[in-house]
Structure formats: structure tokens, C-alpha cells
Amino acid sequence: MSEQQTVGFTVNGERHTVSVPTRELLVHTLRERLHLTGTHIGCDSSHCGACTVDLNGRSVKSCTVLTVQAQNAEVLTVEGLAGPDGLHPLQEGFREEHGLQCGFCTPGMLVRAYRFLQENPDPDEDQIRTGMAGNLCRCTGYQNIVKAIRYAAEKQTAGSV
């Protein structure tokens, strides 16, 4: 018998209450109960970063967080990045700089880069590579991902002046 618990949390600004088995992983709740399928499951073992979401203002791998651990949490997924005016500067950067090919890793890249640019708004290439070290991409060779994040950093820094 698997134990159920009720978990209340906010996802992309919207309050949700779900009843889940205690063993359910956050990534499954997001994808299968809330139908937010932008968050991907890659390795399922906290290596690849495709499942990265923002949990209480920190990047985490949602394949290695239990939903019951997200009680009262604020969660941001890739679906929450774009605003009413269109794409987030990071999304625009990934489009302009060809920061993706197959796109599987992209949601995790975007959500991690979003938090990374809050932590370090004007990073150099080395800092980007270190800050993004928890996200794997098998297509791009990372070169254009670095450029895309620099694109967003420049746009955001310019916008905030």
C-alpha cells in the first residue's frame, strides 16, 4: 500500500494542490498531473539536468526531489519563462544563437541559465561553463549555448540600466 499525501505548492505563479503517493518524484507530478511536459526526463539519475526546475529560488534536478518535499514551495518551470511580451531573453538568445539542435536538453538549459543569470548577471565564458556544468547537451558542443547565455546576459544588463 502506498501512502498518499496532499501537497500544496505554486508552479509558475499558480497554486496547485495534489494528492500523490509519497514516492512520487517532482518531475512526474509536473509532467503527468499538471501536464507541464516542458520539464524532461533524461537520465533519471541527477546527471543530465534535463529535468532542472527552480525550487524556492534554487536550481534543482526534479528527478531527485520527492513531490512531498515541495510542500509550500515556489516552483518555476520552462513554461513560466516567457512573459506577456513574448519570449524571455534567454529563449530569444537560444533562437538567435542556435543554442539547440534536437531541443531535448533545452528546457533544463533555459531554467538553469535563468537562475544562473540571477546569481551572476554578467558572466564570462568560463563562469558560464562552470555554472551550467550540471546540464548535458549531446548536439551543440555547448559553444552556441554559451553564446545564447551571453546574448541574454547582455540584453538583460542593458535593459536594467
Partner 1 sequence: MIPPSFAYRAPASLKEALALIDESGDDAKFLAGGHSLLPMMKFRVSEPAVLIDLGGVPELQGIREAGDRIHIGPMSTENEIIGSALLQQKCPLLPEVARWIADPQVRNRGTIGGDVAHGDPANDHPAVMLALEADFVLRSSQGERVVPANEFYFGTYFTAMEANEVLAEIRVPVLGPGTGYAYKKLKRKTGDFAIAAACVLLTLDRGICKRIAITLTNVGPTPLRASAAEQALTGKAIDDAAVENAAQLAMQICDPAEDLRGDKEYKTHMAGEMVRRAIRQALERAKEAK
CA 91: distance to chain centroid? 12
Q: In the bound complex, what is the minimum distance in angstroms from residue 144's beta carbon to partner 1?
A: 19
Contact yes or no for 9/71 (Cβ under 8 A): yes
The smaller minimum CB distance to partner 1, of residues 37 and 92, is found at: 37
Could you list the beta-strand ranges (E) of the chain.
Answer: 4-11, 14-21, 52-55, 58-61, 74-76
Q: Site residues for partner 1, window 114-153 (CB under 8 A)?
A: 116, 130-134
Q: Select from 64, 101, 127, 156 the one that contacts partner 1 (CB under 8 A).
A: 64
Q: In the bound complex, what is the minimum distance in angstroms from residue 153's beta carbon to partner 1?
A: 17
CA 96: distance to chain centroid? 20
Written as one letter, the residue type at 110 is L
| Cα 39 from Cα 108, distance rounded (Å) | 7
Q: In the bound complex, what is the minimum distance in angstroms from residue 89's beta carbon to partner 1?
A: 20
The smaller minimum CB distance to partner 1, of residues 96 and 136, is found at: 136
Q: In the bound complex, what is the minimum distance in angstroms from residue 56's beta carbon to partner 1?
A: 10
Contact yes or no for 8/70 (Cβ under 8 A): no
| Cα 23 from Cα 42, distance rounded (Å) | 19
The smaller minimum CB distance to partner 1, of residues 98 and 138, is found at: 138
Q: Site residues for partner 1, window 27-56 (CB under 8 A)?
A: 28, 44-47, 49, 52
Binding footprint of partner 1 on the chain (CB under 8 A): 1-3, 5, 21-25, 28, 44-47, 49, 52, 58-61, 64-66, 68-69, 71, 112, 116, 130-134
